[in-house]
Amino acid sequence: MNLPAALTLVEPLDRQTLGERAYAQLADLLISGRLAPGEKLSLRAAADVLGVSIMPVREAVSRLVADKALEVAANRAVRVPMMSSAQFRDLTKVRIAIEGHAAAEAARHRQDDNLASIAAAEAAMRAESELARPDLARAVELNKTFHFAVYEAAQSPILVEIIRTLWLKAGPVINLDLRGNPDRLAKGEAIRFHADVRKAIAAGDAASAKAGIAADITGAADFILSRGGLSA
State the average pLDDT over residues 66-95: 91
State the average pLDDT over residues 117-144: 91
Q: What is the pLDDT of residues 171-207, one digit of tens each?
A: 988 876 676 667 777 777 889 999 999 999 999 999 9
pLDDT at site 138: 86
Using the predicted structure, report yes or no on whether residue 46 has a pLDDT greater than 60.
yes
Counting every residue, how long is the chain?
232
User: Whole-angstrom Cα distance, residue 25 to residue 60?
Assistant: 9
pLDDT band at 114 (very low <50, low <70, confident <90, very high): very high
| Closest-CA residue to 70 (of 124, 136, 26) | 26
Residues of each domain in the chain carrying CATH 1.10.10.10 = 5-79
Using the predicted structure, report yes or no on whether residue 9 has a pLDDT greater than 60.
no
pLDDT at site 62: 94
| Closest-CA residue to 161 (of 31, 40, 26) | 31
Q: What is the pLDDT of residues 215-232, one digit of tens each?
A: 999 988 988 888 776 766
Higher pLDDT, 71 or 182: 71
User: Whole-angstrom Cα distance, residue 178 to residue 161?
Assistant: 23
User: Whole-angstrom Cα distance, residue 177 to residue 64?
Assistant: 22
pLDDT at site 104: 98
* Percent over 70 (pLDDT), the chain: 88
Q: How far is CA 181 from CA 4, 127, 197, in A?
A: 20, 18, 23
State the average pLDDT over residues 106-121: 98
* Percent over 90 (pLDDT), the chain: 54
User: Whole-angstrom Cα distance, residue 225 to residue 220?
Assistant: 9
User: Whole-angstrom Cα distance, residue 177 to residue 127?
Assistant: 20
Bridge partners of 84, per DSSP, are: 231
Q: In the CATH hierarchy, which top-level class contains the domain 85-226? A: mainly alpha
User: Whole-angstrom Cα distance, residue 73 to residue 96?
Assistant: 30
Print burial letters for 111-130: b (CB count within 10 Å at least 16), e (below 16): eeebbebbbebbebbbebbe
pLDDT band at 8 (very low <50, low <70, confident <90, very high): low
Is residue 207 within 8 Å of residue 72, measured between CB atoms? no
User: Whole-angstrom Cα distance, residue 91 to residue 85?
Assistant: 10
pLDDT at site 211: 98
Residues of each domain in the chain carrying CATH 1.20.120.530 = 85-226
Using the predicted structure, report yes or no on whether residue 44 has a pLDDT greater than 60.
yes
pLDDT band at 119 (very low <50, low <70, confident <90, very high): very high
Query: pTM here?
Result: 0.86
**DSSP secondary structure, 150-218, as one string:** HHHTT--HHHHHHHHHHHHHHHHHHHHHHHH-HHHHHHTHHHHHHHHHHHHHHHT-HHHHHHHHHHHHH
Pick the CATH number of 5-79 from 1.10.10.10, 3.20.20.70, 3.90.550.10, 3.30.1490.20: 1.10.10.10
Non-local (6+) Cβ contacts of 141 within 8 A are 32
